Structure 1
Amino acid sequence: MAQIVKRAYKYRKRAYKYRFYPTSEQASQLARTFGCVRLVYNKALEERTRAYNLEGKRVSYAESSAMLTEWKRSGEFAFLCEVSSVPLQQALRHLQAGFANFFAKRAKYPTFKSRKKSRASAEYTRSAFRWREGELTLAKMDAPLAIVWSRPLPEGAEPSTVTVSRDAAGRWFVSILVEENVSPLPPTARNVGVDAGITALATLSTGEKIVNPRHERRDRRKLAKAQRALSRKEKGSANRAKARLKVARAHARITDRRRDHLHKVTTRLVRENQVIAVEDLAVRNMLRNQSLARAVSDASWREMRSMLEYKAAWYGRTLVVVDRWFPSSKLCPACGTVQETMPLNVRLWQCACGTAHDRDVNAARNVLAAGLAES
C-alpha cells in the first residue's frame, strides 16, 4: 500500500532562521536564560516523574506553572526572576507536549536536558519581544539583536514566536515564525519517481542521476584530525574546550553543506513535478549495518523525504510514499517478472524476456508507476 501525502494550505506558518552576533551583555543574558530554561524543564520533569511513580498522579501544566511560581519565591531559585518568564513557561509547555505524546504512544518518555549535549535554546512569544521597523528586541534587553538578514521576511509579516539558539560551534541563531499566504505553483503534467541511493543521491524515473556529494567523506580527514587533537587534551582544560570547538565547527560545516544541497534538490523536484513518488525506506534498520551506516547517514534520506513532504504541502504538489516491501529493483516492467534475488553489487541486469535494466533507473520507474496507480 502507498501513503499519499497531499495537503493544501491557504496560510502556512514558516520559520525564517538568521544568524546574529550578540553583544557581551546579550550573550551573558541569553546564556543565563538557556540555563534557567534547562533547569525549569528538568526540575518539572523530576517532580512529574516523582508524582507519577509514588502517587500515580499526572501533574498538569497549570500545576507545573504553580510550582515555577513557588520556586521563584524560594531563596534557592530566586535567580529565575533575573530572566524573562516567557521562555520558562514555554519550557513547561514543551514538557507538557512531551508527556501528551508519551501517553498517546507517539513518543518515548521525556528525558532530562543535558548542559553539554542538549540544544541551548529559548522560545519567546509575542509578549516577550518587540518587533519594530525590522529590529528585534528581546525581553530584559535594551538593544535590538544584530541580525544578519540573509533574506527578507515576507512583506507585512508579523512574528508570532522567536526562538534564540546557540549551536555546538558557538554560533548564535534566531528563528522567526511568521504566517504566510500560500501561493501554489501552477499545475504541471510532469511526474517523477525517486530512488534514493548512495552512489547517486537520487535516481529519477527520467533516467537522470543526481550525484551524492558525500560531504562527510570529503571532510573526513579534517574532522578526524580535529577529533584526535581533542582526545589528547586534558579534560576540563581550556585547550580541550578550544579543541572541542574545532570539532563542532567541522561537523557544522558538513551539516550546513549537506542541508543546502538537499534543499536545492528537493525544491527543484517539487517545482518541476506534480506527483512525486518515493520509497518508504527503513533508514533506522539500515543504520545497523556497519558497512553502510556511515554512507547512509551522510546521504540523509530521511531529511530529504521530510523536505519533500512539507514543500509538496506548501506548493500544492502530491507526494506518494510507496510501501517499503514493494520489489521496485527486482520487478521487470516489460513482462512483470519479479527476480528472486538481487544482491546490492548488481547494478545492471537483464530479464528473461530480454529487457536490460539499470537497477536504480528501473526502481525509480517502478516506484513512479506504483505511486500513480495509488494516487
Structure 2
Amino acid sequence: MTGKKIIREKGYKFRLYPNKKQKILINKSVGCTRYVYNHFLSKAKEDKYKTYTEYSKQLTQLKRELMWLKEPDKFALQNALKDLDKAFNNFFSGKYDFPQFKSKKNIKNSYRTNKFVRKSGTTNIEIKDNKIKLPKLGWVKFSKSQKVKGKILNVTVTKTNTDKYFISIAVKEEIKKFPEVDKKIGIDLGLKEFAITSDGEKKANPRVLNKYEKKIARLNRSLARKEKGSNNWYKTKKKLAKVHEKMANIRLDFLHKFSTKLIEENQLIAVETLEVKNMLKNSNLAKSISDVSWSKFIEILTYKAKWYGRDLIKIDTFFASSQLCNNCGYKNEEVKDLKIRNWKCSECGKVHDRDINASKNILDEGLKMQKAS
C-alpha cells in the first residue's frame, strides 16, 4: 500500500562555513537587521505602530540617509520589518506581550533572505554540491548532510554566540505519508526512564546534564572570578556557551531519533500531556525536568505525526494513568506515592510495574478518545 502525498513547509538545517570576507558581511547583515527592527520599534513606541507598508517606505528613505544599510541584501531588511509586523499583530491579538528590542547578547543572531527568480530564469539562491549561493555573499560552503528536497522559499543565516554559522533552508516539499500499520502504542514519560511504552519497552533517559554538570559548575566559578567584560571573561563565557550548545544538540538528536522510530512503527500514538511549568516549581526535580525536554518531544511528535499520516492522541495530565489497574479498572490511590514502583491490585490480584501499567492505560484512553471523535 502506497502512502498519499501531502505538501508541507519544512526546514533543513546545516552548518555553514563562510570565508573571512563572508563572515564580515554576515555579521554586518545581522547588525543591520537588528538596527532596522529596533529603529522602527522605537518609532512605534514613541507614537503608535503603523503598517508594514508605511515602514517599508520609511526604510527606503532611511537607506538613503544611512548608506551602510545598503550592504546587506534588501530582503534581509524587509524581513526584519515583517518580523516586527508579526510581533505587533501577535501583541494586538493578545497572544504575546509588547515586542522587545533585539540585543547583541541574544544566543543566536540571524537574518532571513528570500528566494526569487529573475526574468532571465536565474535565481538568487541555489545549491550545487556542498555550496549554496546566497544574495550578496555568493557561493558559501556548507555541511550537506542530506539532500534538500522541494522548492526553496527562504534561507535564514544564523551566527551563534560560539561563533558558529548555520543556515536553515525553508522549503515547500511533497512528503509521502508512511504506509498504514496495525501497531498502536501508549507512552508514559518519566525521569528515571525517558519513556515507557505499552509494549514494555523502557527508553533510557540520556541524562545529558549529569554528564556536563561538573564542567558547567567549574566554568561558572571561573567566570565569576574574572572581570566582567575582559578578554578572559569573554573566552570563558564562550567555552560555557559551547558546552550548553553541545548539550542541546545531544538532546535534540535523541528526541528526533526516538520520535522518528515511534512514528515509523506505530499508526496511533497516545501520550500523556504534562504541566511542565507547574512541575518546574518543585525545586528538587526542576533540573531533571528541564534536562529531559518532554515539551520539545511532544512538539516534534506532533508535527511528524501530521506529516506522515499518524494519529497522535494527547491524554489529559489529570488522567489517573498510574493508579488504575489495567486488568480490572480498580483505582489504587496509594500509587500517588512516586516511591511505589510495583503494586498488586487488591481486586484482581494482578501485579503491576507502575510505568508499564500507566502506559497501557494511556493507550486504552487514547483508543477511547479516537473512537469517540
Q: With structure 2 as the length reference, what TM-score do the two structures score?
A: 0.92
Of 106, 109, 113, the residue aligned with 2:95 is: 106
Superposed CA deviations along residues 63-83 of structure 1, whole A, max 9, x for unmatched, are 221222232233xx3321222
C-alpha distance in structure 2 between counterparts of 1:190 and 1:362, whole Å: 18
CA contact (8 A) 2:151 2:173 kept: no
| Aligned equivalents of 2:46, 2:338: Cα separation in 1 | 51
Task: Tell whether 2:322 aligns with 1:329.
Answer: yes
Q: Which has the higher contact order (CA 8 A, sep 6+)?
A: 1
* Residue of structure 1 aligned with 2:354, choices 355, 359, 364: 359
Q: Which residue of the partner structure matches residue 369 of structure 1?
A: 364
Q: Among residues 51, 55, 60, which one is paired with 1:60 in the alignment?
A: 51
For residues 216 and 296 of structure 1, the distance between their equivalents in structure 2, rounded to whole angstroms, comes to 11
- Tell me the distance in 2 between the aligned counterparts of 1:90 and 1:287: 36
Residue identity in the other structure for 1:145: V
AA in 2 matched with 1:30: I
Residue 102 of structure 1: CA displacement? 2.1
Check if 1:282 corresponds to 2:275.
Answer: yes
User: C-alpha distance in 2, partners of 1:132/1:289?
Assistant: 49
**Distance in 1 (alpha carbons) for counterparts of 2:156 and 2:313:** 32
Q: Which residue of 2 aligns with 1:202?
A: 195
- The residue type paired with residue 340 of structure 2 is V
| Equivalent of residue 141 in structure 2, options 146, 167, 174 | 146
State the SS of the aligned residue for 1:192.
Answer: strand
Shift of 1:263: 0.8
1:11 aligns to what?
Answer: 7
Deviates more, 1:116-125 or 1:204-213: 116-125
The residue type equivalent to 2:124 in the other structure is F
Q: List gaps (5 residues or longer) in structure 1.
A: 1-7, 53-57
Give, in angstroms, the shift of residue 130 of structure 1.
2.8
Provide structure 2 residue ranges, at least 5 long, that are not aligned to the other structure: 117-122
Equivalent position to 1:217, from 184, 204, 210: 210
Map 1:211-360 → 2, pairs under 5 A: 211-341=204-334, 342-353=336-347, 354-360=349-355
Query: 1:285 and 1:70 mapped to 2: Cα distance?
Result: 49
1:344-374: CA deviation from partner (whole Å, max 9, x where unpaired):
2222222221222211111111111111101
Partner SS state of residue 247, structure 2: helix
What amino acid sits opposite 1:102 in the alignment? F
Any idea what SS the aligned residue of 1:235 has?
coil
Q: 1:260/1:374 Cα in 2 relative to 1: closer, same or farther (>3 Å)? A: same
Residue equivalent to 1:55: none
| Counterparts of 2:160 and 2:278, CA distance in 1 | 28
- Normalised TM-score (structure 1): 0.91
In structure 2, relative to structure 1, the CA distance for the partners of 1:334 and 1:222 (3 Å cut) is same
Once the 2 structures are TM-superposed, how far is the Cα of residue 118 of structure 1 from its aligned partner?
4.9
Helix, strand or coil at the partner of 2:176:
coil
> How far off its partner does 1:325 sit?
1.2
Partner of residue 4, structure 1: none
Residue by residue over 1:136-161, the C-alpha shift from the partner in whole angstroms, topping out at 9 and shown as x without a partner, is 222223x411111112222xx34221
Q: Which residue in 2 is equivalent to 1:93?
A: 82
Equivalent residue of 1:290, what SS? Answer: coil
Letter in 1 for 2:174: N
Structure 1 contact 9–313 (Cα < 8 Å) conserved:
no
Contact 1:72 1:78 in 2 (8 A): yes
Compute the displacement of 1:23 (Å).
Answer: 0.9
Cα distance, 1:133 vs structure 2: 3.4
RMSD of equivalent CA atoms: 1.7
For 1:118 and 1:219, the matched residues in 2 are separated by: 19
Alignment of 1:46-195 (within 5 A): 46-52=42-48, 58-74=49-65, 77-127=66-116, 129-131=124-126, 133-134=128-129, 135-141=131-137, 143-154=138-149, 157-195=150-188
- Note the C-alpha offset of 1:9: 6.5
Question: What is the rounded CA distance, in whole Å, between the counterparts of 1:61 and 1:166 in structure 2?
Answer: 26
Residue aligning to 2:119: none
1:213 Cα deviation from its structure 2 partner: 1.1
Whole-angstrom CA distance in 2 between matches of 1:366 and 1:103: 42
1:299 is matched by which residue type in structure 2? Answer: V
Report percent identity of matched pairs: 38
Query: How much does 1:177 deviate?
Result: 1.5
Query: How far apart, CA to CA, are the structure 1 residues paired with 2:339 and 2:232?
Result: 46
Q: More deviation in 60-69 or 28-37?
A: 60-69
Partner of 1:40: 36
Contact kept? 1:9, 1:314, Cα under 8 Å: no
The ranges of structure 1 where at least 4 consecutive aligned residues each deviate by more than 6 angstroms after the TM superposition are none
Native 8 Å contact 1:129 1:136 kept in 2: no
2:19 is matched with: 23
CA contact (8 A) 1:229 1:243 kept: yes
Residues in 2 aligned to 1:37 and 1:235: alpha-carbon distance in whole angstroms? 27
Task: Give distance in 2, aligned partners of 1:199 and 1:218.
Answer: 15
